[in-house]
Amino acid sequence: MGFTALAAAALLALPAAAQALPEDRTYEMVSPPDKNDGDVGAGLFGGQAYAGTAGDRIVYMSLGGWDAPTNSITGVYAAERGEEFWTSKSTLLPVLPYPSIGGAAITGISPDASRVLSGTNRNPDTGEPAQNGDNGMIFLLDPTTGERELVLPDLDVNGDPVSGFPLEFTGNSDFSRLFMQANAPLTEDAVGLPGSGGAIYLFEEGEHTLQSVLPNGDAYKVQLPTPGSSGLVPNVTSEDADVLFFQVTSGVGDPDPRGVYRRDFSGATPQTVRINEPETEDDPGGGPTGSFGGASSDGTIAYFTSNQRLVDEDENSLTDLYQYDHSKPAGQRLTLISEDGEPADDDAAVTRVHTVSEDGSTVVFSSPSQLVEGEPIDAGRKLYVARDGEIEFVGITGPNTNQGDVSAEGVALAADGSQMALVTSAALTAHDNGGFDQVYVRDNDTGEVECASCRAGAANTAPAAFRTTGALNMFGAGWTGAIRNLSSEGHVFFETLESLLPQDTNGKKDVYIWQDGELDLISTGRSTDHSQFASATPDGKDVFFVTREKLSGWDFDGRLDLYTARVGGGLPEPSEPVEECTGDDCQGPPPLPPPYPGAGSGHYDGPGNPQADPVDCTPAERKANRLANKAQQASKKAKRLKKQARKASGKKAKRLNKRAKKAQRQAKAKRKQARQARSQLALCREEAEL
């Protein structure tokens, strides 16, 4: 047996927490040790969670609650990382018994997970029932301090009961600027608005102001673009909330108010423009309807679909995909994206916009039409990626129906559009996927596709899946698609029952990570129950997952717990076995015990018992870190060269792509060496503890 086999056998024998994780990750227990016989997760709904952008906060659900109000079924907690452990606090406000299931709700989470929108049917200040009955009130809550602001009252400006919650909330990182759609008038100028839908309000510094205003200054009932059958809606607001997009889907008047609108708050006075305004002298035909498909994070570039002929290049009345660029002069802002480059087949509409990159350069969409010369003409739903207006065919992903197509939740896109990950049952590579959904990763610079979840040398026997938008359906529509299956550093996170690595031996669902062609486990592959991907930070340095396996010394109860596999992580572990806790002690691991003083006389002048030389793992740690840094540098170099190649042309582009591939191979080799070094480091640390 060679060294590699011996190392692998020894590694499998280690405790789970001592296993070598990729990128020098370390397990940290996030949920509290004592959960009052509750589980992290929400029963049939799965383990719903949303990680804050920095990785030091996460909001998650529980089946049952511990030391906190529940909505008769679930609890919702905000966990924050401290110097010694993660502390969980309830995000639910006290409620009155409901005649039906329910009683409390979380309707939104700020992107940094520092504040939540918490609903209750009881006024927390007076203890009295909400005056609108079970519809209740919504507060903006800071779980750490307990401070709250009333966002949606139980009575409107006329003193009438507010019926129903808003359709969506959206805002900036900490919700200090918050937009909301409400069906009731919350300000005097919102009384008796024309149109259908609701009014959009800005909640800032404790006050509501009406913002569903058309370009002519008239207030109107509109809709925030919410996720639905047409796909995801990234960046309804810009990252700083200086830009807001909304839609008018019905109405009468001259001019017709229907369309997609962009409202800009960066100036002294907010300004609204309709982004689907025709830029052709010909009759555009039809009504000015449009559907918002997504935008760049700064709100400058937006994508929408329309069946009007808005530019001269659009020669039919089918639903097409357009790009709007606000940085260009008025009248020159529209580009037809779904232009037919192969008119030999019958024209067909764009059926779904999947997602948009953060920089706005790239959009992914589906259509049965043949838009690229030379692609298959077979009938079926075709997946396209358009970068800087240039369309590329990805593959036929299913029949010409919504069934069998790549789901709206099943596509993830890198911030610069250079990489795409998707889940589909269509075989996009030569590997036999067994007819099951698998995870494919496409390099959008080169067009190369790899199967991240395919078995080596054998057909797949089980599907793989992303943790999709349904996992956040209890947290409000605004958070659909916010789980981040693809990170900015190229990590791809997915779940599968398939054993893709030798150490995955449990026959249960496990969490995997793929990066630059390298596959690793996040869960151990040895739990007696399924493990589930929960959420990740945008950079992928924190990946949260739910497991029943005890991966920390604080974990004693055998319940489902939330963990993170954190790059550069590691919190103090108990020096002695932890006993079950009660009451306030269950809010986090108990304080570390003082050093054990030991036995024997208080004073002794002899030489003492001979001591074995301590095991020094410093050289192994330095080697592992050095190789990991080199791999990261090579990976960044490859991405930089790819980006330069995309902007170049001809021989220069080919030369840059060749250099990028070389750097990518170097990164892959260094990453493999780093994994081996981490395995040796784990063995060294295990020996040092004996």
Sequence-separated (6 or more) residues with CB below 8 Å from residue 572 = 84, 85, 592
Q: Work out the number of other CB atoms within 10 angstroms of the CB of residue 252.
A: 9
Give the DSSP letter string of 207-258. EEEE--B-TTS-B--BB----BTTB----SB-TTSSEEEEEE-S--SSS---
Confidence (pLDDT) at 375? 83
Place of tokens 């077979």: 378
The residues spanned by each domain of the chain are 19-30+407-579, 55-151, 618-690
Contact 38, 75 (CB under 8 A): yes
**Are 219 and 190 a contacting pair, CB within 8 Å?**
yes
Rounded to two decimals, the pTM is 0.82
pLDDT given for residue 10 in this prediction: 34
What's the confidence (pLDDT) of residue 523? Answer: 96
Under-70 pLDDT residues of the chain: 1-20, 42-47, 68-73, 97-104, 164-167, 227-232, 252, 344, 378-379, 399-409, 468-483, 576-615, 651-652, 655, 679, 682, 685-690
Kindly list the distances between the CA atom of residue 488 and the CA atoms of 52, 239, 537, 543, 592, in Å, as whole numbers in the listed order.
15, 16, 9, 13, 36
Closest CA to 672 of 8, 22, 26: 22
Q: How many CA atoms lie within 13 A of 593 on its CB side?
A: 10
In the CATH scheme, what is the code of domain 19-30+407-579? Answer: 2.40.128
Pairing of strands 116-120, 137-141: antiparallel
Per DSSP (E only), the strands in 340-486 are 352-356, 362-367, 381-387, 390-398, 411-413, 419-424, 438-443, 449-451, 464-465
Q: How far apart are the first and last CA of the chain?
A: 25
Q: Which two tokens stand for residue 412?
A: 């993830």
User: What is the model's pLDDT at position 252?
Assistant: 66
CA distance 416 to 422: 16
Provide the β-strand partners of residue 524: none
Q: Are strands 561-567 and 25-29 parallel, antiparallel or unpaired?
A: antiparallel
Task: Give dist(CA 449, CA 395) in Å, integer.
Answer: 10
What whole-number distance in Å separates Cα of residue 638 and Cα of residue 661? 7
648 Cβ contact partners less than 8 Å away, ≥ 6 residues apart: 656
b/e map 74-107, b = 16+ CB within 10 Å: bbbbbbbbeeebbbbbbbbbebbeeeeebbbbbb
Helix (H, G, I), strand (E, B) or coil at 50: strand
CA-wise closest residue to 49 among 467, 360, 375, 447: 467
pLDDT for the residue numbered 43: 59
Peptide linkage before 593 cis (omega within 30 of 0): no
Give residue 8's pLDDT. 36
* Token code pair at residue 517: 């062609």
Query: Quick check: 654 and 590 in contact, CB under 8 A?
Result: no
The one-letter amino acid at 215: P
> 153-158 contacts: CB < 8 A, separation 24 or more?
153/186, 154/123, 154/130, 155/131, 156/184, 156/185, 156/186, 157/185, 157/186, 157/187, 157/188, 157/190, 157/191, 158/185, 158/191
Q: What is the DSSP string of 128-141?
A: PBPTTGGG-EEEEE
State the Cα–Cα distance between residues 455 and 452, nearest whole angstrom. Answer: 9
Query: Which residues on neighbouring strands pair with residue 104, listed in sequence order?
Result: 120
Strands 352-356, 86-90: pairing is unpaired
